[in-house]
Amino acid sequence: MTDPTMHAWQVHRPGPISTRPLARATVPVPVPGSDELLVAVRACGVCRTDLHVAEGELAVHRAEVIPGHEVVGEVVQIGAGVQMQFAVGDRVGIAWLRHTCGVCVYCLRGQENLCPESRYTGWDADGGYAEFATVPAAFALRLPPGYADGELAPLLCAGIIGYRSLLRAELPPGGRLGIYGFGGSAHLTAQVAMAGGAEVHVMTRGEDARELALALGAASAQGASDPPPVPLDSAILFAPVGDLVLPALEALDRGGTLAIAGIHLSDIPTLNYQRHLFQERQLRSVTSNTRTDAQAFLDFAARHHLEVTSPRYPLDRADEALSDLSAGRISGAAVLII
């Protein structure tokens, strides 16, 4: 008997999306390890990190990797050594973070996102641009009710990373938050901030994105490098554009914080200390997330229903979805429906 196979997309030759780095493939259905779940993929978000993996901006960690790390699916097989309570048929999420050592100084002090042994779905291990995927049971996420599969998928990275970015930005209660770039993560983060009483101002290049921001309740929306109408207490940079760091810092009020949400950023131009950092303004990075972050955000999403703008693509158009993301043609967070 031959092993079962599945349809998938692999990063065949990393390079600009115009060179078609993804290739369709028929590959064996993965076999879960003793501590893993096998999941039938129902939806997978299309994240800018997938684009960085496909284009080679993130170094190759696994040749011919299947990208995708915002996976919603159904458990179809449980490894013999799984100690957690999962059953066949459970709906679970597979996110970016899939392994940490648990014993290093970072893990022990609650900063597992900084673990030197951390590994990631769709980069170190095959992800969700496929019909099936595996996940270590300890990193599988329980999902909130009240959302369709395609709505849940973007929550698993765009939502979680946005939530951590908001924590890193140290927004004071009722404060003014600036958001630079308004794609999948930003449109969810804005809703979290506004639910907490924040006044949100959006700077982004796309007219459709500005319209979406205003429709969701943003106080203003303007061009990507335009100054907001008021000084900002905090800001988050979602666009992977280093040139935007300077206007974002300059827009901060005294003591304000800018958090950079992406895993990749183009080079930052030379800072002027007086204009950009003086008066105790801060510049902070965001590195992945912890499982505690993930659970806190998903608990929030269960209590506050988020409006998820998610253009849908079938699995066989995954390359088109990434191309549209690269070109700025997507408002919200694109999702592959399997």
Tokens of 323: 């191309």
Of 247, 260, 257, nearest in space to 281 by CA: 257
Q: Give me the residues paired with residue 236 across strands.
A: 179, 259
DSSP single-letter state for residue 271: P
pLDDT in tens, the chain (338 residues): 567 999 999 999 999 999 999 999 999 999 999 999 999 999 999 999 999 999 999 999 999 999 999 999 999 999 999 988 999 999 999 999 999 999 999 999 999 999 999 999 999 999 999 999 999 999 999 999 999 999 999 999 999 999 999 999 999 999 999 999 999 999 999 999 999 999 999 999 999 999 999 999 999 999 999 999 999 999 999 999 999 999 999 999 999 999 999 899 999 999 999 999 999 999 999 999 999 999 999 999 999 999 998 899 999 999 999 999 999 898 888 999 99
SS3 content of the chain, % helix, strand, coil (to 5): 30, 25, 45
Is residue 114 a contact partner of residue 5, using CB atoms and an 8 Å limit? no
Please list the residue range(s) of the chain that carry CATH number 3.90.180.10. Answer: 5-143+308-337
Cα→Cα distances 138→52, 216, 291, 303, 322, Å: 26, 35, 9, 24, 29
pLDDT of residue 21: 97
For 327, the 3-state DSSP assignment is coil
Of 260, 263, 238, 134, nearest in space to 187 by CA: 238
Q: Give me the residues paired with residue 235 across strands.
A: 178, 258
Q: Provide the terminal-to-terminal Cα distance of the chain, rounded to the nearest Å.
A: 26
Please list the residue range(s) of the chain that carry CATH number 3.40.50.720. Answer: 160-285
The torsion angles phi and psi of 293, rounded to 5 degrees, stand at -55, -50
Q: How far apart are CA 290 and CA 167, in angstroms?
A: 12
Q: What is the residue-wise DSSP string for 153-200? A: HHIIIIIHHHHHHHHHHTPPTT-EEEEES-SHHHHHHHHHHHHTT-EE
Positive or negative, the CA dihedral 214, 197, 175, 243 is negative
Q: How far apart are CA 160 and CA 269, in angstroms?
A: 29
Q: How far apart are CA 160 and CA 96, in angstroms?
A: 10
Out of 3.40.50.720, 3.30.420.340, 1.10.40.30, 3.90.180.10, which CATH number does the structure's domain 5-143+308-337 have? Answer: 3.90.180.10
For 133, the 3-state DSSP assignment is strand
Q: How far apart are CA 306 and CA 144, in angstroms?
A: 11
What is the fold, at CATH topology level, of the domain defined by 160-285? Rossmann fold (3.40.50)
Give the chain's largest Cα–Cα span.
Answer: 71
Strand order in the sheet with 176-180: 220-222, 199-203, 176-180, 232-237, 252-260, 282-285
Q: How many CB atoms lie within 10 A of CB 12?
A: 16
Is residue 281 a contact partner of residue 249, using CB atoms and an 8 Å limit? yes
Q: How far is CA 186 from the centre of its chain?
A: 10
**Which residue's entry shows tokens 């939530």?**
163
Q: How far apart are CA 330 and CA 48, in angstroms?
A: 11
Tokens of 304: 């506050």
Of 79, 72, 65, 74, nearest in space to 122 by CA: 65
Rounded CA Rg of the chain: 20
pLDDT of residue 278: 97
pLDDT of residue 2: 65
pTM above threshold 0.85: yes
